[in-house]
Amino acid sequence: MPEVLAVIGNLTEQWQHRIKESRPDLTMVFYSEPHDLENHLDPRITILAAGGGRVTRAICEKLPHLRWLQTFSAGVDGVVQDLAPQVTITSMKGLNQVAVAQHAMAFLLGLTRLAPNPPSTPRSHLVPLRTLEGMRHLIVGYGHIGRQIGEYSLHFGMTVEGISRRARPDQNVATWSELDRRIGQADVITLACPLTAETSGLIDRNRLQRIKPGAFLINIARGEVVDQDALVESLTAGHLGGAGLDVTTPEPLPSGHPLLQFPNVLVTPHVAGNLPDYMDRAAAWLIDNLERDRDGRPLLNVVNRSDGY
């Protein structure tokens, strides 16, 4: 049976042509939206390339021959549990790490240099601004993005600590067992971890209370990593100095949501990883992996099913 590649995404005709040229041995179909695939599903599909959140359980159940899923996103939460264990999953982890890391730093600079003084504030009533120099920055999830945030933070004169599954003492990175101790010592906590069973609800009411008064929380991971109701309580009580959130539950937040009312909270609609040429980069990545698959070479960014990323 010939192999069939299905691609869901807004790719230009030029990129579609280049993908076809890379694997003339494959039958290929291109869809702009997931519903196009659902309405014209080919059960022979063996390889599927799609953006984050576009592969549903309903689609997976109708693809009995699927052997490989290439996501166009770094995160694979909501996908791993929907696929049979024999299906290989590859992500594009690292593709947009610079953009996401810069977004995290933009939040932090906004909270310390921009948000404290609305434009109508009389000069005599200005709140003193803070600098990042000397701040202790705890980065929870020290992968591609976390390390990039760490590099930027060092340039601003911050002290950087990381939390990861595996300790790296030479980089001041500790394991999860150190989270509760270190979270209370940090001036900034940035969440850059994947959403897994281990990290869902990671920053709960108890850990929010452990954070030192006046510290900042930045979340560019997933909304579900934080207990959002407890976060609102902490901000209302004035415990946290502020928060920068690119991810929330739900997305986007409804008009009038409490998180949108705080002057010391910056919210963006899950756009930290956006790049003007993202799909061009993603298409080039896909071609690289397709050629690796053809040649029997290791694929890039194979997801560890037990770890969830």
Q: What values do phi and psi take at 155, rounded to 5?
A: -65, -25
Cis peptide before 43 (omega within 30 of 0): no
Tell me the C-alpha distance between 112 and 131, whole Å.
7
Catalytic one of 33, 38, 151, 251: 251
- Burial group, residue 120, by CB count within 10 angstroms (0-12, 13-18, 19+): exposed
Taking the C-alpha atoms of residue 10 and residue 34, their distance in angstroms, rounded to an integer, is 11
Helix residue spans in 211-277 (DSSP H):
228-236
**Catalytic, out of 270, 281, 292, 305:** 270
Instruction: Evaluate the omega torsion of the peptide bond into residue 250 and state whether it is cis, within 30 degrees of 0.
Output: yes
Annotated catalytic residue 67: no
H or E element that contains 144: helix 144-155
Q: Give bridge partners of residue 266 from the DSSP assignment.
A: 244
77 close to 308: Cβ distance less than 8 angstroms: yes
210, containing H or E segment: helix 205-210
Whole-number Å distance between alpha carbons of 11 and 277: 11
Examine the residue annotation and report whether 251 is marked as an active-site residue of this protein.
yes
Tokens standing for residue 179: 């989270």
Q: What residues contact residue 263 under an 8 Å CB cut-off, 6+ apart?
A: 115, 118
Which H or E element spans position 107?
helix 97-109
- Exactly one of 54, 103, 207, 222 is catalytic; name it: 222
Instruction: State yes or no: is 65 an active-site residue.
Output: no
Q: Which residues are catalytic?
A: 222, 251, 270
